[in-house]
Amino acid sequence: MTAQQRNTPLPPARRTAHPGARRLALTGLAAAAALLLAACGGTTEGKHKNAADHGGTPSATAGTTGANPAPGPVGDTDVMFAQMMIPHHQQALEMARLADGRAADPEIKKLVAAIEQAQDPEIQRMRSWLKAWGKPESAGSMPGMDHGSGSMDHGSMGHGSGMSGMMSEKDMKELKAAKGRDFDRKFASMMIEHHKGAIDMAEDEQKNGRNATAKKLADDVVRGQSAEVAQMKKLLDRL
């Protein structure tokens, strides 16, 4: 070995990690990753559990809230308006369906079609309100109501019950037995009284209701059925 070779500094030696240390580092990384995944999974599970406790997923709950067909404040008058108007409309439809094969006057037939077109969708709307409000469709037993026949005693149903204008079972039987011009006259006369009852209920909602959607329907009932009452009064004059 020459002197020059002896005086030349050796290159720094490469540091090689000890195999045990490297395994320890990898194990630590794996453990940290596992802990992170567990934390994320626990958070997600907590969210789903919380959603389940409230009756659905967060998105479903939000969708239900946004789908309320009659949002805003709701008072007892609004609930009663829907609960009372549903059976009131149902009887009007029952009367209208009797016209098939019995009515003779073309104007009566057109009026029947208009009643069916307006009141059946309104029943569905009011049912959707009560469902959204968490209220039953029926207000319970009321004086004069015959649950077996679906009719009400006309004499006992006044403004106090909120169901004025309903036909009795006897009224409905008489209408069903009539035909031709006799049916037309009975139908117009009975439906005038029936409409007046609905108008009374709607006017109460206009004055005392709180829900904007229910009050809007009350406006429609007053306007539409008042016009039909005027029309039927003219019909009676010529029948």
Q: What is the pLDDT of residues 77-113, one digit of tens each?
A: 999 999 999 999 999 999 999 999 999 999 999 999 9
**Same-domain pairing of 59 and 76:** no
Do 165 and 184 lie in one domain? The reply is yes
pLDDT single digits (tens) 169-220: 999 999 999 999 999 999 999 999 999 999 999 999 999 999 999 999 999 9
At 53, is the pLDDT very low, low, confident or very high (cuts 50, 70, 90)?
Answer: very low
Final residue before a domain boundary, out of 65, 86, 116: 65
Same domain, 46 and 124: no
Which residue, of 17, 48, 65, is where some domain finishes? 65
Range of the structural domain that residue 59 is part of: 25-65
Own/partner contacts of 102-108, CB < 8 Å, gap of 24 or more, are: 102/178, 102/179, 102/180, 102/183, 103/183, 103/184, 103/187, 104/179, 104/180, 104/181, 104/183, 104/184, 105/181, 105/184, 105/235, 105/239, 107/231, 107/235, 108/184, 108/187, 108/188, 108/235
Determine phi and psi for 59, rounding to 5 degrees: -70, -40
pLDDT tens across 1-46, in order? 555 545 555 555 444 445 555 554 545 555 555 444 444 444 443 4
- Do residues 59 and 79 both lie within one domain? no
Same domain, 32 and 123: no
How far is it, in rounded angstroms, from Cα 183 to Cα 104? 8
Average pLDDT of 144-163? Answer: 40
* CB-side neighbour CA atoms (13 Å) of 121: 8
Same domain, 165 and 181: yes
Q: Please check whether residue 1 lies inside any domain of the structure.
A: no
Residue with token string 């194990």: 27
* 218 DSSP β-pair partners: none
Question: Is residue 224 pLDDT above 90, yes or no?
Answer: yes
pTM of the predicted protein model: 0.65
Give the burial string for 97-122 (b: 16+ CB within 10 Å, else e): ebbeebbebebbeebbeebeebbeeb
Residue 20 lies in a domain: no
Establish if 227 belongs to a structural domain.
Answer: yes
Residue 147 has pLDDT above 60, yes or no: no
Instruction: Give the CATH number for residue 176.
Output: 1.20.1260.10
Q: Are residues 42 and 119 in the same domain?
A: no
Are 178 and 211 in a shared domain? yes
Find the mean pLDDT for residues 108-121: 96
